[in-house]
Every structure is written in C-alpha cells, then in structure tokens.
Structure 1
Amino acid sequence: MTSPTRPAAADSDAAQLAALGYESEFKREMSPWANFSLGFTYLSPVVGVYTLFGFALATGGPPMIWSFLIVGLGQLMVALVFGEVVAQYPVAGGVYPWARRLWGRRWAWMTGWIYLIALLCTIASVSYGAGPYLAAVFGFESTTTATVVCALVILLVATLINFAGTKVLATAAIIGFAAELIGALVVGVWLLATHRVHGLGVLFDSFGAGGEGTYLWAFAAAGLIGIFQYYGFEACGDVAEEVPDPGRTIPTAMRRTIYIGGAAATFVCLALVLSVGDIPGVIAGEDADPVTTLLNDAFGGFGAKVVLAVVLLSFLSCAMSLQAAAGRLAFSYGRDEMIVGSRWLRRFDHKRAVPPYALVVAAVVPALVIVGAAGAGDTLTKIVTFSSVGIYLGFQMVVLAALRARLKGWRPSGKYRLGRWGLPVNIVALAYGIVAIVNMSWPRTPDAPWYDNWLVPLSAAIVIGLGLLYMAVHRSYGRSTAPYDDAVPKPASPASAPLARTEP
C-alpha cells in the first residue's frame, strides 16, 4: 500500500531541488538502507583490509590496527560537515556541486576534476585488485595478462549493473552489503574461535617493526590502511537526486557508513592480526601475502575458495558503487556545462533513469588505466598512488570551502545542522585532512629513484597542473550559468539575481 504522505514528500523534494535551480530526471527509487549500502560497499571493509593488511602488518606490526580508530574519528568529522552541506544542497554529483555552492565555479571545477580523476583511478585499482581473487576462485594462474582480463570482466559486470538503473543498483548494493558484512563476521568469528594464536596484548607489540628509530614513523606509514579505508560515505550524497527526503536520509547514511563500516573493518583486521602465526616472518618479508596464507590454513582449499568468492563479491560491489559515484559526478559536470563534451555527459536515458555517456566515461577510462599500467612494475601501487590522496584532496577542498563560508556568514539551513558545534567540527575536520594528506604524500623510499620516492605528491601536482592548464585554455566553467556561490548571504541589491552570482 502506498503511503499517503509519499506524493507530498516527493513534491517537497522536487520543490527543494527547483529552488536550487534544477529539475531532476532521476527517479527517487533508492531507499535509506540502499543509500547506506551504496556508501558501505564503496567503503568496503573487506576490500580495504584485505588489500593493505600485509603491507600494514609488515610496516607497523600489530599496533597498526589503532589507525582505524584515529582515522575513523577524523573522517567522522568530515562526514558531519558533508552532512550539513548535502542537507542544504541535495544535488547529484557530491563534492563538485557542494564546492560550487559554497565557494564558486573555479573552485568547484578544480574540486570536481581532482575527485573525478581519483575516482576513475580507484575504480581501476579496485578492479585490478580483484583479479587475483577471481583467478584463485576459478583456479587459474594469476599472471599479469590474466589479472588484466579479470579486472576488465569485473569492470564490465559493474558497468552493466549501473546501466540497469537506480532500482537495480540499489538492490545490488544491498546484496553486496549483506554478503560483505556476513562474510566479514563469519570469517572473523571463525578465525577468532578456531585459529587465534595471540592475545589482545599483541596489539601493543610492534615486533621490532620500524627498526631502531622512533616507532611513530612506522605507525604513520602503516596507518595508510586506515586512511585508505575510511572513504565511501560521500557516495551517499553523489546520488542525492535518487533518494527520497535526502536532507534527512543522506547525513544519517553517511554517519552509519562510518560507524558500521569502520567497526566491520576493525573487526576483520583484529581477527587477522590475532590469527597470523608468524608475525615476525611477515615483518621480515618472508610472507608477503599473510591473508591468503591464513585463509588457506584456517579454511582449507575449498573453504578458502568460498571466502575468496565473498571477497570477490565485495570487490565487485565496491567497483559498482565507485562507478555510480563517478558517473553522477561526470553527469553533474555536463549538466552545468562545465567541461568539454558536456552535451554528451548531460544526456539522460529516461527509460533506465541513468546518464549513459557519463557511465561510459566511468567505464572506459578505468579500463584504459588498467591496460596502460599492466606493463609497469608494481602495477597496483602505481594505480593506487593518486587515488587516495586525490579523494582526500577533494574532500578537504569542500571542508575548506565550508569553513570559509562559515567565516563569511554561512548558516546551514538544511534538515541536518550541527548548530554551535559546526565551526569547531569544521576546523577539526580540516586539520585532520591536512595531516592525512601529508602522511600519504611523505616520501618513504629513499633508495628508490626520486620520482618513485615522491610519486604521491608528484602525481597530485600533475593532476592539479593539468586541471589549471585546462582552465586557462578552455574556460567552459566561465560560461556555466547554473547557480553558484550562494551559501553566503549577499547584500540586497536590485540588480542581484536570486540564485546565481555573476563573476566578472
């Protein structure tokens, strides 16, 4: 039976969007739990932990697990800021339209550019990371060629799900969430019940990781597992035009993603740490893949394949959610006529209620990255290099824009507000993000060639430089007439426009 309040709520959502200058073509078919599931599968505790567990344990030893708590609190501050912004501006595309309304067109263009490139690289890295698991499940050798083919298959399946429309995407996200959460709990409980070899005291023993110097530097490097883990909550806001009552639903979904996703990731990591028999061997480099070793020991050949199948499903769900976010961002760019090719990016398939050409970009570019990086050594690392720092840069550009707007008089007016806590939370979120970016960018391989040692900041500088070059050559952002820079109240003027501010 249809709720009598639903038509009124739908009219309210449409009216709010119209007041912001848009008329949505999307269908609001994503339930609150589906919205949360999209963020959860993007955050994907299984993918994040299984991908970097071996590196983190070898670099910082068991105490690296405390980075989940530190990073989780920092990212919760960011999620609270995002919640206020999306409640006032529930527009598809996430960080780009938020930055546009908080600051202006130039800032928004660069924010969206950095975030889009990072998303496309992350789609490639997640798809490539799934390759060895697909090979293990089906029992063939994980060569470079096989891994590339498997990655492209994962990418194709994710693309087909996204092309099927919001309802199919929402259903797939819920299935992915349920499978990943159940899989994480089952694996964790089984390991702790049958294969645990350490007590909780091991979480305070570094086993000599980091050498004879201060342990802080080793912990900071190992803490990348937490930094890599805690994003995905912003995907809840990328689909703001597909969620009923987004001003209430999305901030809740973002916080829920941090709480449940962070708890699941920490639990999985805890179970793995307490069950690894030879931690000194991992630190010494004798076991480069302790997760696979442990799963084979704990579950046997067949059981390990079942677990790996769940892990593979987690990778697929993660790639699917990332692609949905990237597609909405590219569509948002096109709808506002902010970039070359806008007339294609803004096209909409009304039958499936998806932006087809924007989704094609979110499939073809990651595929090219996968194929192009196949010949490079340490492929996954090179693909991931810019992904995390780029997403954090995009986050912090919105956080900075929100702080600037607050100081200039912005008072959030959405259905979710922090009140007097808004300013201190905003400051803490910005401080955390700067520290995290510095940590990711810090050179840690002095014996490697300089361009490898400085690869993270170098890749970020290249992406930002290309963005600035584009802005100087092709000023499409300046022709965009969509509303911008309207968070801060402007002095009343007879010539002022109600929705948009005109730049000289």
Structure 2
Amino acid sequence: MTTSKSGTAPEDEGYYGFHDQDDAAHLHALGYKSEFKREMSPWANFSLGFTYLSPVVGIYTLFAFALATGGPPMIWSLVIVGIGQLLVALIFSEVVAQFPVAGGVYPWARRLWGRRYAWMTGWVYLVAILVTIASVSYGSGPFIAATFGIDSTVNNTIAFALALLALATVINFMGTKVLAKAAIIGFTAEIIGALVVGIWLLVAHREHNLGVLFDSFGAGGDGSYMWAFAAAALIGVYQYYGFEACGDVAEEVQDPGRLIPKAMRRTIYIGGAAATFVCLALVLAVADIPAVIAGEDTDPVSTVLTEAFGPIGSKVILVIVLISFLSCAMSLQAAASRLAYSYGRDGMIMGSSLLKKFSATRHVPPYALVVAAIVPALIIIGSKISTDAITKIISFAAFGIYLGFQMVVLAALRARLKGWVPSGKYSLGRWGLPVNIAALIYGIIAMINMAWPRTPDAPWFDNWIVALSAAVVVGIGLIYMTVHPLHDSSSGPYADAIPQK
C-alpha cells in the first residue's frame, strides 16, 4: 500500500504541515485517524529506541555474568547478535514503512496475518515488556542505594524501584514533546557517559592488550568452549532490542515511513557500537580476570570504576547510570502504553473502552499508561513476598520480546510467500526473502539459547524456567482467547498485506 497524496479535510489545513497532511492521509487509508500529535523529531525517535536498548544498563547489568561464564571472548557475541538483530530490524523497517500505526508488533502482525495471530503476538510482547519495565526499575534499586550511600536492602530496593517507575510515569504523562526531550537528554547523558568512561579506562587504566579478547582464561572448564560462549552470549542477546520502540510511536513522528526505518537501523548501529565499546573498555581494565571467572570478584564493574575514578568519580558515573535506567524505563513504558492503546482502539481485549481513551490536553492514552505503571509496580512489590518469584517472572522478559519479534518475522515471511510485496518508502527489494529467512533462523537460534537449561543441579522447573514461563504466558493467552474472544468481533482492518485473490 503506497502513501496517499490526497489532501486532508479543510479544517485540518491550518494544523498539519505538508508531511502531516501526507501522514494523516496515509493513516486514513490504513483505517485510522490519529489523536496523537506528531511532535517527535527523527532525533528524538532514535533516542527513544537507543534509551530502550540502553547500552549502559545492558552491559553493566550482565558484564559480571558474561565475563565469569565465557571470559573476554564473550564480547564477540555483541557483534554476532548485532548482525542478527539488524536482520530483524530490516524486516521491521519494511513493515512499519507500509503500516506506520501506533503499537508496533501487534498492528504489524494484524496486517500481515490476521486478528487472532495479532492478538497472541501483542499479548506475548505486552506481558514481556511490562515485566521488563519491572526488571529495569528493580535493577536500578541497588545503583540508587549506592549513589546515596544507603544499604541495598530488599525494602530499599523496592522503594527506590517504585520511585524511579513513578518518575518515568510522570514524564510519560506529560506528553510526546516532553517524552521526546527526555529521550534526547537520556541519550546524550548515556552516550557521553559511555564515551568518557570508555576512553578514560582505555587510556589510563588498561590492564591488557587486544589479544586478551581471544583468551578464555579457562572459562567453561574442560568441556567444549562453545557451550560457555553460548551462555555468555546472553549479554548480546539481552542487549539488542529497543529498536522496535521507534515504530511503537509511529503516529507521533512526521513522515514515519521514511524516518522510522532509519531510526531503527541507527539504534542498532550506534547502540551496538556504544555497547561494544563499553564492554571492550571494561574487559581491558579488569586487572584480575581469573578472579572473576573463579567467582572471587563478583562485581568487576564496581571494582574497575572505583579503582579508575575513585569515590567521587564513581558517584558521577552512578548518576549517569541512573539516568540510563530512568530513560530505559521511560522508553519501555511509552512502548507498552502505545501497544495497549492500539489493542483498545481495535476493541481487542477486556477494558478496551478505557485503554483507547485519549487525553485531549496531553495527547497520550492515560489508562494505557496507568497499566504500564501499575503492573510493573505490582511485580516489584511482589519481590517483598518472594525474591525467587520475581526472578522467575523476570526470566520471561527477554525471551518474550524475542518471541514477539519472531512472530512478526514469521508473519512477514508467510505474507511474502503469499504474494506480499512491501510497498512503503523502505523496501529490501529482491533481498527481502533471504533476509526474512535469515532473520527467522537467527531468532529461533537465539530463543533456543535463552531457553536452554543450564542449571542441572537445580529442580527441573528452575532448569527449564524460561521455556516454562513462556508456555504459561502463551497458555493463559489461549485460555483468554477462548473464554473472551473479543478479537473475533474487532472491526479494524487486518490481513490486508496479502493480495486478495
């Protein structure tokens, strides 16, 4: 479906610019009239994806695990996964260029396949992203405690996590323009922090040369190193998502069919480069790598930062890290609320009448935002009852996002084989089919790696917790679809990417 060049209604002429008229006509042709304001610049759209991906949060959170599990060569997983996720981003770029509708994976799956498939795609992704918001907020707790010199107790961690979540919610409630500015501030702080920390570590505190990146230091024991690398590669697998958030806010960006595909690719390029650079600087600055692998140094990031920057400098770094956590939670919340709103607008789920409501003053979906705040808050509070339980819930987060991704990739492949020819402002042309197949193969391998049991001494349900949690989420979704099949009565357009015979 190509972009319509027809004009909008006369009453719109004073409000929309040239691109706004074009965008409104395109959206109207897709069956919608947007209530959002197109106030998000291309730079802000990229920043939203970047802060969702958040190199600082991803690397700082998983660096100790990855280094202890796979040694320095684990850094190569960032390159491998980056290429794999770029393939996924290219497919998403084709889809969003043709269907620039708020909500991301759900409306994409709806247009590529149909209502039921889209419902499950959106359900899996929404649950995963709500859990991820809780995970990021909860993960910020110890950093906030360290910044203020407070003991990182369970109660403190919960309180700090809820405070960060509340601040992210307030920013989102203030509208697209404020969200856009906050995303740019978050991106600027994070990229400057990453560059300053990385350069200083490489210049003044480098303990190894580049050859160390090919030395496992005995990680993985006597078995095949491939298994140790696969486990350590989770640092890469968990790093490279967030680019889809650029498409979640498609109705808030001018000329989205052209600009959002660029923002998605830039998120991969720049976010991946920043993550790899931070990881490289940390690896080369760890003085005693064998101690990390042996479990004697369980927090090499803090060790390196304290030695390199001292107590005052470390505090400054911690503040930058906290800005990164806040920006990440904020971007995740924006993505989740747009998906929930999109569900509501199509009348797909119980509570749609509230989810589709829109604030005329702030131009945001308030009840969808409330869902994106309350559900993560309940998960965080639940850790008071059982830290083990929240760990199990969070284990689904990354896998669920990948599953949602691959459901779209599969839908795109199916549609392509049934005659879909991407007709937006971005297209892979003859490369579309091979890239689509490669993206699906990569995604399946990544999900197998995430779900693979690696704790043989633990009870079987803990060993298979990622796969089991995914089965539970899908199972609950199937039960809901059977008991309350609102999706079948949804009147919005669907399956129109495939040519009708």
Normalised by the length of structure 2, the TM-score is 0.96
| Higher mean C-alpha displacement, 381-390 vs 445-454 | 381-390
Counterpart-to-counterpart distance in 1, 2:250 and 2:145: 36
Q: Does 1:97 align with 2:107?
A: yes
Counterpart-to-counterpart distance in 1, 2:248 and 2:192: 26
Distance change >3 Å, CA 423–CA 92, structure 1 → 2? same
| Higher mean C-alpha displacement, 114-123 vs 6-15 | 6-15
Match in the other structure for 1:428: 438
* Structure 2 portions without partners, runs of 5+: 1-13
Q: Is the 8 A contact 1:127 1:155 kept in 2?
A: yes
1:248 partner letter = R
Give CA deviations for 1:414-444 in whole Å, capped at 9, x if unaligned. Answer: 0001100000000000000000000000000
Q: Does 1:300 align with 2:303?
A: no
Counterpart-to-counterpart distance in 2, 1:475 and 1:375: 34
Counterpart-to-counterpart distance in 2, 1:383 and 1:295: 31
Measured after TM superposition, the shift of residue 9 of structure 1 is: 1.4
Counterpart-to-counterpart distance in 1, 2:34 and 2:347: 16
Distance change >3 Å, CA 115–CA 127, structure 1 → 2? same
Distance change >3 Å, CA 303–CA 456, structure 1 → 2? same
Match in the other structure for 2:339: 329
Q: Does 1:176 align with 2:178?
A: no
Q: Is the 8 A contact 1:158 1:317 kept in 2?
A: yes
1:317 partner letter = S
The correspondence for 1:317, drawn from 311, 327, 347, is 327
Match in the other structure for 1:382: 392
Counterpart-to-counterpart distance in 1, 2:81 and 2:486: 37
Q: Is the 8 A contact 1:338 1:480 kept in 2?
A: yes
Matched residue pairs, number? 488
Match in the other structure for 1:395: 405
Counterpart-to-counterpart distance in 1, 2:385 and 2:311: 31
Match in the other structure for 1:465: 475
Match in the other structure for 2:10: none
| Higher mean C-alpha displacement, 366-375 vs 481-490 | 366-375
The correspondence for 1:29, drawn from 34, 39, 45, is 39
- SS in structure 1 of the partner of residue 116 of structure 2: helix
The correspondence for 1:235, drawn from 202, 224, 245, is 245
Match in the other structure for 2:139: 129
The correspondence for 1:252, drawn from 257, 262, 286, is 262
Measured after TM superposition, the shift of residue 288 of structure 1 is: 1.1
Counterpart-to-counterpart distance in 1, 2:24 and 2:356: 19
Counterpart-to-counterpart distance in 2, 1:157 and 1:372: 20
Measured after TM superposition, the shift of residue 294 of structure 1 is: 1.1
1:192 partner letter = L
Counterpart-to-counterpart distance in 2, 1:127 and 1:482: 35
Q: How does 1:256-275 map to 2 (within 5 A)?
A: 256-275=266-285
Counterpart-to-counterpart distance in 2, 1:306 and 1:277: 22
Q: Percent identity between the aligned chains?
A: 73
Q: Is the 8 A contact 2:164 2:326 kept in 1?
A: yes
Match in the other structure for 2:3: none
Counterpart-to-counterpart distance in 2, 1:379 and 1:265: 30
2:33 partner letter = E
Q: Is the 8 A contact 1:92 1:237 kept in 2?
A: yes
The correspondence for 1:215, drawn from 217, 225, 242, is 225
Q: Is the 8 A contact 1:129 1:380 kept in 2?
A: no
Measured after TM superposition, the shift of residue 139 of structure 1 is: 1.1
Q: Is the 8 A contact 1:53 1:269 kept in 2?
A: yes
Counterpart-to-counterpart distance in 1, 2:480 and 2:319: 43
Counterpart-to-counterpart distance in 1, 2:386 and 2:227: 28
Distance change >3 Å, CA 381–CA 208, structure 1 → 2? farther
- SS in structure 2 of the partner of residue 359 of structure 1: helix
Counterpart-to-counterpart distance in 2, 1:484 and 1:115: 19
1:483 partner letter = P
Give CA deviations for 1:140-183 in whole Å, capped at 9, x if unaligned. Answer: 10111100100000000000000000000000000000000000
2:142 partner letter = P
- SS in structure 2 of the partner of residue 221 of structure 1: helix
Match in the other structure for 1:165: 175
Match in the other structure for 2:448: 438
Counterpart-to-counterpart distance in 2, 1:129 and 1:74: 26
1:228 partner letter = Y
The correspondence for 2:150, drawn from 135, 140, 155, is 140
- SS in structure 2 of the partner of residue 175 of structure 1: helix
Match in the other structure for 2:359: 349
Match in the other structure for 1:499: none
- SS in structure 2 of the partner of residue 30 of structure 1: coil
- SS in structure 1 of the partner of residue 94 of structure 2: helix
Counterpart-to-counterpart distance in 1, 2:18 and 2:300: 54
Q: Does 1:107 align with 2:120?
A: no
Distance change >3 Å, CA 167–CA 101, structure 1 → 2? same
Counterpart-to-counterpart distance in 1, 2:446 and 2:159: 34
Counterpart-to-counterpart distance in 1, 2:70 and 2:285: 17
| Higher mean C-alpha displacement, 465-474 vs 283-292 | 283-292
Counterpart-to-counterpart distance in 2, 1:308 and 1:383: 27
Match in the other structure for 1:64: 74
2:242 partner letter = G
Q: Is the 8 A contact 2:379 2:390 kept in 1?
A: no
Measured after TM superposition, the shift of residue 293 of structure 1 is: 1.3
Counterpart-to-counterpart distance in 2, 1:250 and 1:28: 13
Q: Is the 8 A contact 1:91 1:97 kept in 2?
A: yes
Give CA deviations for 1:86-133 in whole Å, capped at 9, x if unaligned. Answer: 000000000000000000000000000000000000000000010111
Q: Is the 8 A contact 1:125 1:383 kept in 2?
A: no
Give CA deviations for 1:187-235 in whole Å, capped at 9, x if unaligned. Answer: 0001111111001010001111111000000000000000000000000
Measured after TM superposition, the shift of residue 287 of structure 1 is: 1.2
Distance change >3 Å, CA 425–CA 324, structure 1 → 2? same
Counterpart-to-counterpart distance in 1, 2:455 and 2:268: 32
Match in the other structure for 1:481: 491
Counterpart-to-counterpart distance in 1, 2:305 and 2:318: 9
Q: Is the 8 A contact 2:393 2:469 kept in 1?
A: no
- SS in structure 2 of the partner of residue 29 of structure 1: coil
Q: Is the 8 A contact 1:373 1:383 kept in 2?
A: no
Q: How does 1:81-96 map to 2 (within 5 A)?
A: 81-96=91-106
Counterpart-to-counterpart distance in 1, 2:152 and 2:485: 45
Counterpart-to-counterpart distance in 2, 1:7 and 1:294: 51
Measured after TM superposition, the shift of residue 380 of structure 1 is: 6.6
Distance change >3 Å, CA 138–CA 383, structure 1 → 2? farther
- SS in structure 1 of the partner of residue 37 of structure 2: coil
Match in the other structure for 1:185: 195
Q: Is the 8 A contact 1:87 1:248 kept in 2?
A: yes
Q: Does 1:279 align with 2:270?
A: no
Counterpart-to-counterpart distance in 1, 2:155 and 2:381: 9
Match in the other structure for 1:50: 60
Counterpart-to-counterpart distance in 1, 2:210 and 2:87: 28
Counterpart-to-counterpart distance in 2, 1:377 and 1:71: 30
- SS in structure 2 of the partner of residue 229 of structure 1: coil
